[in-house]
Structure 1
């Protein structure tokens, strides 16, 4: 914060406790008018609790210290007084708009609610303001989209609608909690540019400041003017963005900045056999036609067009592309969850349709292919213990093992991914995100697969935890000769992990080749646009880490 910039928000000696457990310790942070500040740290560091406390949204907690906004201590205000602050003076953009937006109301109705409560606008005036806000945030056809429900919008459009809602009453402070985590690189770039543009405009007119809560260091480098770093509830370092990235002082900050993915994969032998081969693959979805075409019945939408690729033993093939590019359809077809319309998917040289000829053959195929999902909490049953989760595949595919042998194998698998036997009787909610992803990997390894589909396995993880999981996957690949089909929108992860990369757009492969060749000299305009939008400000540093 510059010397001439008076604090808009001042957090002073602030502590938060839940019962006897204190989670935020003596935080002091000031944000000036018109300033963009990033609050970074791993999950559990206290950054979200601190930000939510500004709006007094942390329930069943004890607060001490002061949170002074424009000269008034928010901690001394009544709940009724805080309702006048929320949305009007201080607004928030949440991480997952599909959860934050009410599915029963249109986008226009949700924007109008804030305008009605804080500015007393009548319905017609609120609607016109809503259309203008949607137009300002870049949503196409705002006159039509204002009557859309959240599920009718794309992820990027939902996030833009959230930003429009937050800006409806022109707040002086915007809290943005991981606003780009679940978005593709190009959409992420658009949202970042949008936030910067809107903030700069509002800063000139009203001095609006932004507090960004994130673990995405590339986003911080691009967006923030100052950075505050939290570790285990303590604010360990604050500095300008340029100074902090150039010369971090605290060991934790250094560790965070040193957590970018590193390329440590081994080359694949030239004579390695193909585990997976796809030839001329096309996949259609049957959809209900609209308009006069509905008289003709259901129509077909082609999600994949003439896809050809191979994956060798011990190789990682990265699949990148925006939402709707066909990545998930390709993965579903490889796993046999979606049938091909045209072409063949062959596993170990044998088409999937031949495996389907008998239940025994299909069960054997399922053991050869496994998947690790993006959200480990959603993919692990909350009602099963870790022993039951990891051992489920063994019960189905290794029925010859008795109970002691099965438990011994489960313990071995958990130790393989860095967990101890002490976790056997615990449940998923008792673990961190990184630990849950390790459990998901152990479950996939249980049946000794040859191919593992990795569907955004690190996108929900902090940078240091991400590095640990990627290191684990690399080590397991070397040890067992595993083949990975790695789907992600994080190009830094692909650069570090993939031997070869496939770039998909609108269901087609537009470019493929060795990863470093494609990243250093992309030939297709779409690949060039993806790389330009990836916010890889530290690309040079990544190159230095390539083995």
Structure 2
């Protein structure tokens, strides 16, 4: 057999007494696409970073051979010549990975200057060609853009252009589509496959994809390796692994797709939320001579109507910029100014001020955000985080009773009561999201706005959180306004769905009806871009 491009041989990573990766052996052939999957903490990203020797304060043992050359024996100076030239990496969050102080062109040129010695004009021209190759429109103009001036999909394309600048033999892609909408996600997947196939024909470039998105794996990878707690538990071709998994952990991962288990809405259920003629404008700086006469406006949401009944989940789907989160913030009273009317249980929500009526109405609505770590104060204990709403809206409760209520809420969401003395950083992502849900439940709301509550979680943790939300809805007859771009989650959770595009509702109806027979071309494109298994809807129950 020909020598593999990359061979990881009995490789281990140790941080003090903790073993992050244990005796890992894995090979990747030239021109092959391999996916490394597993939950957070399984050792996937540590393995990828170790190939580039970017893991700090860790003890590495074993061998990592690139074309037979052991990277663990290289000096730091030698590794600088390998990074970017022979092995390149595409990171999960391009806004964090890209330098905000330099244009895209300068960041691409840096690699070309260091590894290929190109002069500025030649590097710029190569950068334009790379941006064009990765599908960025107007590459001659975009090359002078800063990262914040690009959309999420364009930033990820720019990252891929940087990674491919020196035509590496191995490309490491660490969750490259997690933060992207379904249509952009498909574009990036297709782009990576196309570029890899071109480079594989020329130089035999291989790709190691790090992900927990099993639908992405099914579409992208030729072979899959599964890791659990630092140990490689199964390796097989993609088709064989998905059709006939052997290890219990692999079976559990594949069984983590959210299942629909929601109750039907009571025929006489009252309308809890009623939105009528809602329009939301943003003021933006005017260009040219118009700037002398003030600011222009951008309409984010156009005259929108919707309603939500007690015990019902209304799903809102659409790409970034479609107005989903703006709508949610306005319903919560966090976004002003707006025209139209929002009624909670028939009572109009006051449009301004801090009146008692407004405070009481807002207490009937709570929100669970996408990022559980960013939405929880790192300086407060869990008891303080959950108890804050009780102190504001139920000031009559004495501290002892408040503490008992916090303990009961933690147990309600599947957390031990003793967690209340700890801080957010001491918990996993799924545990932090459970704490965020407990905080939202503290003031006994009737409506929860769920803004991408599971997009940052592993598939198995995602399923646990969705099951928890379903259980809480059945127990307390909660109404959910559920915002997501994950159509598999929408299929499992929503009774009805509205599809938004450019601030307008383009399609609405029963969730299963919309997913099975979409009428609007935009909805059809969303479903075509989604990597979910549409046949799975036949297994669901209402």
Relative to the length of structure 2, the TM-score reads: 0.99
Q: 1:249 to 1:207 in 2, by over 3 A?
A: same
Alignment of 1:73-92 (within 5 A): 73-92=70-89
Alignment of 1:318-357 (within 5 A): 318-353=315-350, 356=352
What is the Cα deviation at residue 293 of structure 1?
Answer: 2.2
Among 12, 26, 30, the residue aligned to 2:27? 30
Aligned residue in 2 for 1:372? 368
Among 469, 489, 494, the residue aligned to 2:465? 469
Take 1:316 and 1:545, find their aligned partners in 2: how far apart are those partners? Answer: 16
What is the Cα deviation at residue 360 of structure 1?
Answer: 1.4
Take 1:453 and 1:269, find their aligned partners in 2: how far apart are those partners? Answer: 21
What is the Cα deviation at residue 30 of structure 1?
Answer: 0.2
Aligned residue in 1 for 2:310? 313
Aligned residue in 2 for 1:127? 124
Aligned residue in 2 for 1:155? 152
Among 426, 449, 457, the residue aligned to 2:422? 426
What is the Cα deviation at residue 295 of structure 1?
Answer: 2.6
Alignment of 1:65-464 (within 5 A): 65-353=62-350, 356=352, 359-464=355-460
Take 2:450 and 2:399, find their aligned partners in 1: how far apart are those partners? Answer: 30
Task: Tell me whether 1:543 sits opposite 2:528 in the alignment.
Answer: no
Q: Answer whether contact 2:13 2:21 (CA < 8 A) is retained.
A: yes
Q: Answer whether contact 2:3 2:67 (CA < 8 A) is retained.
A: no
Secondary structure of 1:511 counterpart: strand
Moved more, 285-294 or 127-136: 285-294
Aligned residue in 2 for 1:15? 12
Q: Answer whether contact 2:364 2:445 (CA < 8 A) is retained.
A: yes
Aligned residue in 2 for 1:63? 60
Q: Answer whether contact 1:316 1:485 (CA < 8 A) is retained.
A: yes
- Give the RMSD, CA atoms, in angstroms: 1.0
**1:252-289 CA deviation, whole Å, 9 max, x = no partner?**
00000000010000011121111111111111111111
Secondary structure of 2:5 counterpart: strand
What is the Cα deviation at residue 79 of structure 1?
Answer: 0.3
Secondary structure of 1:7 counterpart: coil
Take 1:516 and 1:21, find their aligned partners in 2: how far apart are those partners? Answer: 46
Among 509, 512, 516, the residue aligned to 2:505? 509
Moved more, 42-51 or 292-301: 292-301
Take 1:358 and 1:23, find their aligned partners in 2: how far apart are those partners? Answer: 51
Q: Answer whether contact 1:501 1:512 (CA < 8 A) is retained.
A: yes
Secondary structure of 1:424 counterpart: helix
Take 2:102 and 2:175, find their aligned partners in 1: how far apart are those partners? Answer: 24
Moved more, 79-88 or 288-297: 288-297
| Structure 1: 4+ residue segments shifted above 3 A | none
Secondary structure of 1:272 counterpart: coil
Q: Answer whether contact 1:91 1:175 (CA < 8 A) is retained.
A: yes
- Aligned pairs, number: 542
Q: Answer whether contact 1:229 1:237 (CA < 8 A) is retained.
A: yes
**1:44-91 CA deviation, whole Å, 9 max, x = no partner?**
001111111000010000011100001100000000000000000000
User: Which consecutive unaligned segments of at least 5 residues does structure 2 have?
Assistant: none
Take 2:186 and 2:348, find their aligned partners in 1: how far apart are those partners? Answer: 40
Q: Answer whether contact 2:512 2:537 (CA < 8 A) is retained.
A: no
Take 2:160 and 2:286, find their aligned partners in 1: how far apart are those partners? Answer: 33
Take 1:339 and 1:127, find their aligned partners in 2: how far apart are those partners? Answer: 44
Relative to the length of structure 1, the TM-score reads: 0.98
Q: Answer whether contact 1:281 1:340 (CA < 8 A) is retained.
A: no
User: Which consecutive unaligned segments of at least 5 residues does structure 1 have?
Assistant: none
